[in-house]
Structure 1
Amino acid sequence: MTPEVVMDLFSEALYLTVLMVLVIVGPSLIVGLIVSMFQAATQINEQTLSFLPRLIMTIATIGMAGPWIITKFMDLFTRLYTNIPTLIG
């Protein structure tokens, strides 16, 4: 196994990790920004007001994008598992 192969595998895994995190966290960040703008406009300083919409959005995003994320994850590991003989030898 050459260093180039290791770097390719690592970059592919890192890209998939960043993509998964972005898909899950991105919508909750947008909701958090909208709630923060609402709190600033109405001068409501309640900490729990921003937590619940972000939590609901994160759970909804995982529910909607979960099958896609699992498919991408399984594809990566299936490809790695089937390529073990070529990667080692």
Structure 2
Amino acid sequence: MTDTAIIELALQTMMVALKLSAPILVTALVIGFTISLFQAMTQIQEFTLSFVPKLVGIGIALLFCGNWMLHTMITFTVQLFESIPSMLQ
């Protein structure tokens, strides 16, 4: 296994991790920004006001993107296991 193959595998792994985490992180970011903007305008400083909407939003994002995320992870894993024999040579 060459250095180039290791770097390519690491790059593919990081790209899959980025793709899988993006829907959840973007949802949490948008909801968190919206709630913090609302808290700044109304001067309400309540921890649960930020936590509960993020939890609900992430749950909804997982419902919508979960199938795609699972398919992406399975595809990557299958490709990885299929490439093992060529890596050992």
Query: TM-score, normalised on structure 2?
Result: 0.94
| Aligned mates of 1:43, 1:80 — CA distance in 2 | 51
Sequence identity (%) = 28
Unaligned runs of at least 5 residues, structure 1: none
Q: What letter matches 2:78 in structure 1?
A: T
- 1:38 corresponds to which residue? 38
CA deviation digits over 1:18-72, x for unaligned, max 9? 2211221111110110011111111111111011000100111111111101111
- 2:4 corresponds to which residue? 4
Question: Per the alignment, in what secondary structure is the counterpart of residue 45 of structure 2?
Answer: coil
Q: CA deviation at 1:81?
A: 0.9
The runs of at least 4 consecutive aligned structure 1 residues that moved more than 3 Å come to none
| Aligned mates of 1:76, 1:27 — CA distance in 2 | 24
Unaligned runs of at least 5 residues, structure 2: none
Q: Within the alignment, does 1:22 sit opposite 2:28 as a pair?
A: no
| Aligned mates of 1:64, 1:83 — CA distance in 2 | 31
| Aligned mates of 1:87, 1:53 — CA distance in 2 | 45
Query: TM-score, normalised on structure 1?
Result: 0.94
| Aligned mates of 1:29, 1:55 — CA distance in 2 | 12
Superposed CA RMSD: 0.9
Aligned pairs, how many?
89
| Aligned mates of 1:80, 1:42 — CA distance in 2 | 51
- 1:84 corresponds to which residue? 84
